[in-house]
């Protein structure tokens, strides 16, 4: 059974159960990385997750760098998608699912050091088929914005709902 097939919001259930425990946020982050293996390649850590909001951090490391010794654009795009997806999916009703239909990114400056994704998104109140714009900003260690992104996500009912 996949995440989209469950009668529950498994992401919300897992975060709510694990995050208060010592090491729970780390375990949750690893589960997310294993569930979505490509997303797992950036080794991001979920710091905060609640209805309509997320914060996710990605440490700078050689495997994520480009030829200019800054974090690669695709790693940053991956962090934008993960940050926005987690905020949205945590907020959805149990009988809803989503898919990203588009993404706009504005690379503001070179990204170096630990990068933090932040998202404050709309909260779907039902599983009604609808498009949501999910804004995400990525910040460097000084707090400066390095990327502004928007996910265009389609929310709808889970199969059979």
pLDDT digits (tens, 9 = 90+) for 22-72: 999 999 999 999 999 999 999 999 999 999 999 999 999 999 999 999 999
pTM across the whole model: 0.94
* Closest by CA position to 41, among listed 76, 75, 89, 86: 75
Distances (CA, A) of 135 to 73, 104, 111: 17, 10, 18
CATH number at residue 40: 3.10.129.10
Number of domains in the chain: 1
pLDDT one-digit tens code per residue, 88-141: 999 999 999 999 999 999 999 999 999 999 999 999 999 999 999 999 999 999
The CA-CA-CA angle for residues 113, 103, 147, to 5°, reads 25
Distance CA 128, CA 48 (A): 27
Q: What's the rounded Cα separation, in Å, for the pair 37 and 56?
A: 17
Paired strand residues for 46:
56
Residue that the structure tokens 């159960």 belong to: 17
Domain limits at 18? 3-157
- In whole angstroms, give the CA distance from residue 126 to residue 140: 35
């Amino acid at each position: 059974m996949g995440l989209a097939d469950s009668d529950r919001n498994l992401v919300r259930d897992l975060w709510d159960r694990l995050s208060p425990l010592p090491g729970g946020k780390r375990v949750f982050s690893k589960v997310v990385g294993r569930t979505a293996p490509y997303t797992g390649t950036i080794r991001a850590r979920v710091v905060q997750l609640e209805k309509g909001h997320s914060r996710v951090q990605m440490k700078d490391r050689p495997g994520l760098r480009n030829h200019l010794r800054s974090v690669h654009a695709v790693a940053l795009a991956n962090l934008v998608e993960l940050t926005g997806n987690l905020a949205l999916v945590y907020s959805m009703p149990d009988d809803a699912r989503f898919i990203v239909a588009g993404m706009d990114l504005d690379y503001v400056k070179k990204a170096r050091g630990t990068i933090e994704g932040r998202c404050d998104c709309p909260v779907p109140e039902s599983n009604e088929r609808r498009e949501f714009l999910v804004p995400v900003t990525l910040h460097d260690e000084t707090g400066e914005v390095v990327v502004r992104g928007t996910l265009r996500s389609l929310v709808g009912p889970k199969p059979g709902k």
